[in-house]
Amino acid sequence: MDRWAELQPHLQQLLGAEEYRTWIEPLEVRKTAKGSLDLGCDNAIVTDWVRDHLLRDIETVARSQFGSEFSVTISAAETATREQEVLRTIQENPFTAGFTFDRFVQGSSNQFAAAAAQAVADRPGEAYNPLYIYGGSGLGKTHLLHAIGKQVTSDNPKSKVTYMTTEHFVNELINCIRQQRMEAFRQTFRGVDVLLLDDVQFIAGKERTQEEFFHTFNTLQSTGRQVVFTSDARPADIPGLEERLRSRFLQGLIADIQPPDLETRCAILREKARAVGWELPEDTVLFISRRVQKNVRELEGCLNRAIAYAQLKNAKITVDVVRMALFELLPDERETSPADIIRFVAQHYGIRVADLKGRSNRRSIALPRQVSMYLIREILDLSFPEIGKIFSKHHSTVMYAVDAISKMRQSNPDFDATLTSFREQFG
């Protein structure tokens, strides 16, 4: 059995049947050597997606099978075929199978954006046109774009729905200019019912692209067709963006996605694990979620690596297994505990720990208690119910305390400086 054939069953198990069929099956072996494997296919969209999103997973599985030095590369599609495949794939609506609304885990950080995307999918061209979703990398913006596209095409198979990254949009425009086929370009993009454009910030500073995009946008919007954008920044914060485009973006709904809180990260991790056939112990979920805080993509990457490592060792996923699998990726474990923070605050204010956990609501006790709750939330990222249990308080009391201390920091520079020094005590 050749090495690529040997890897494919493992990748199917890791990624799931639909994602495997969409992105892995089209790949072919371009070159092979003792310690490396070069893959590719004639579809430029597939090769680009695999290189950007799945290469690390493929290489992790390959190294688990063939050794830690084994390397995997993805070759670009041939130029002539690339142009054909871009246009063809646009028409085929290549939406990732797992990027659906029911697979999008919601929390306080993304509920508004998810609700807006769902409304657009239910009534394209009527609700929130354009819809502009912004947030950091790996927080779910692309997921929502694909979810919109999948639902619209499912509800109305005759709808022409186009998803593209802005980079691909720019590249296609350049190719069409060079080959003097701008009319075909305009017909392709201005003839769609729904245009989903990812990472629109890359259009900034490109005058010809912005000019063409402006007219395309106007054509679609004026005829009641839906446009959805994602970006890593608000329209006002994108340098080099023409004012006329900025004003068009602001005509619709602006929705942001923030990094997920602990509860949402735990829910996301459970959902991602179940999607590939794994049930994680609760302590393992908490271990990963408390240490991976930046984005969902990093969280999923850690999960995939942990699964691959567990499969290699023929072991169950436990905290110890995860710690070994991810020792290069995870930050140092926090040694600070809620008790450490409570003792520190009690010592600073000259009161007893028992007072902080007691029932007294005297100002001299209530303020330090609120400070303790705030610091535990900020430093350890525990949930409001978890903090409430520590103090024998309802989670709404914790929420009020955290909000009150936040407002005091904003209005009182001396108090803010004190809290900053407290925060620094714990790294």
- Which tens digits make up the pLDDT trace of 170-228? 888 888 887 777 877 777 777 788 999 999 988 888 888 888 888 888 888 888 889 99
Which residues, in sequence order, are bridge partners of residue 257?
Answer: 135
Sequence-separated (6 or more) residues with CB below 8 Å from residue 83: 172, 175, 179
HSE-CB of 349 using CA atoms within 13 angstroms: 23
In this prediction, residue 78 carries a pLDDT of 57
Contacts 24+ apart (CB under 8 A), 182-191: 185/212, 186/212, 186/216, 188/87, 188/90, 188/162, 189/162, 189/216, 190/216, 190/219, 190/220, 191/160
pLDDT score of 330: 63
| pTM, entire model | 0.58
Which domains does the chain carry?
3-77 (3.30.300.180), 90-257 (3.40.50.300), 262-325 (1.10.8.60), 338-425 (1.10.1750.10)
Average per-residue pLDDT for the chain: 84
What pLDDT score was predicted for residue 133?
Answer: 95
pLDDT bin (cut points 50, 70, 90) of residue 92 is very low
Instruction: Taking residues 1-19, report their average pLDDT.
Output: 80
| DSSP conformation letters of 377-406 | HHHH---HHHHHHHHT--HHHHHHHHHHHH
Percent of the chain residues past pLDDT 70, beyond the cut = 91
**Residue 144 banded pLDDT, cuts 50, 70, 90:** very high
250-297 confidence digits (pLDDT tens): 888 999 998 888 888 889 888 888 888 888 888 888 888 887 877 788
